[in-house]
Structure formats: structure tokens, C-alpha cells
Amino acid sequence: MAATHVEQLIRDPDGRTQAVQVHIGESPIAWLHARGHLSERHYLAGDMLRRDWEKAGLGARVTMRWDAMPRQMGGSGIVPDPTLAQLSARERFDGAIRAAGPGLADILWRVACAGEGLVAAEKALGWPSRAGKLVLTLALDRVAGWYRIA
């Protein structure tokens, strides 16, 4: 059975190094939601954005694609075109990123899609500590509106 938690060293905002247990299957968006830092609406928006990013195939590939031939679907015989599904997901992703707007889309993509933690994203963007959560929340609010999440 594979380990679901790993110990990771992090540096807190005061510069102290601490050892923490990290659930390797948990996204930063899920982590923030589970600890009350994001509302259900914001969590759903971030998760929908991540799913569209993955469906569109926008992430880096590490292996060869073996699905060149469509698989037979049971019953109807209709095989959905993966290209159309990818194009639809790409359109939704692009629309959501446009809805977030410039300045907000960077941290949104880093945390929701690339899986970076808030501290790492703030550092990569050259932002002061604790600015990321506010900006991420604003971006997720716009994206939730775009996805029509009540």
C-alpha cells in the first residue's frame, strides 16, 4: 500500500523551518478549503478550472499517448471524439482565465492547475507573504461567476 502522507520541510513567514505532514493526493485548493480558507463556491470554481485544464491536455506530458485509436463504447456504438472534448475544455479554461483577468490569472493557474502552494506562488510572483490568498479568492470569485456557480 502506497503512503498517502509525506513529511515536508517548510519555512513559515517568520523564517522558522518546520516539518509538516502533507497528503500527496490533496490539491492546494482542497487543502485551503478543508481548513476554512476558501468557501465551497471558491473550491468548486478552482476544481472546475483544474478539471478543464486537465481535460484540455494543457499539462506537460511525461509519457507517450497510446490512445490514438478510439475505444468502442458499450451499447450505443457512438465513440465521443476526444479532440472535441479537449477543444471544449480548452474553450472553458480560456474563458475562465479571461474572466479572472490580468493580474489574477497568474496565481489562479499556479495554485489551481499547477498545484503550487500559496507560499511558493507568492514567492515565484515576487509578492509579499499573505497577499496570495486575497488575490486567489478574488480570482476564484470571478471564475465561479463565469462557471455560474451559485
Q: Is the residue at 145 inside a domain? A: yes
Residue 137 within a domain = yes
Q: How far apart are CA 101 and CA 141, in angstroms?
A: 11
Instruction: Identify whether 88 is part of a domain.
Output: yes
HSE-CB at 87 with a 13 A cutoff on CA atoms is 5
pTM tops 0.85: no
* Residue 48 located in a structural domain: yes
Residue 117 in any domain: the answer is: yes
**Does residue 13 sit within a domain?**
no
Residue 39 lies in a domain: yes
User: Which DSSP state fits 101?
Assistant: -
H or E element, residue 35:
none
Q: In a structure prediction context, what are the per-residue pLDDT tens digits for the chain, which is 150 residues long?
A: 455 665 656 665 566 776 766 565 678 999 999 889 999 999 999 999 999 998 988 876 566 656 555 555 555 555 556 688 899 999 999 999 999 999 999 999 999 998 899 999 999 999 998 899 999 999 999 999 999 999
Total count of domains within the chain: 1
**Residue 1, in any domain of the structure:** no
The parent domain of residue 121 ranges over: 27-59+83-150
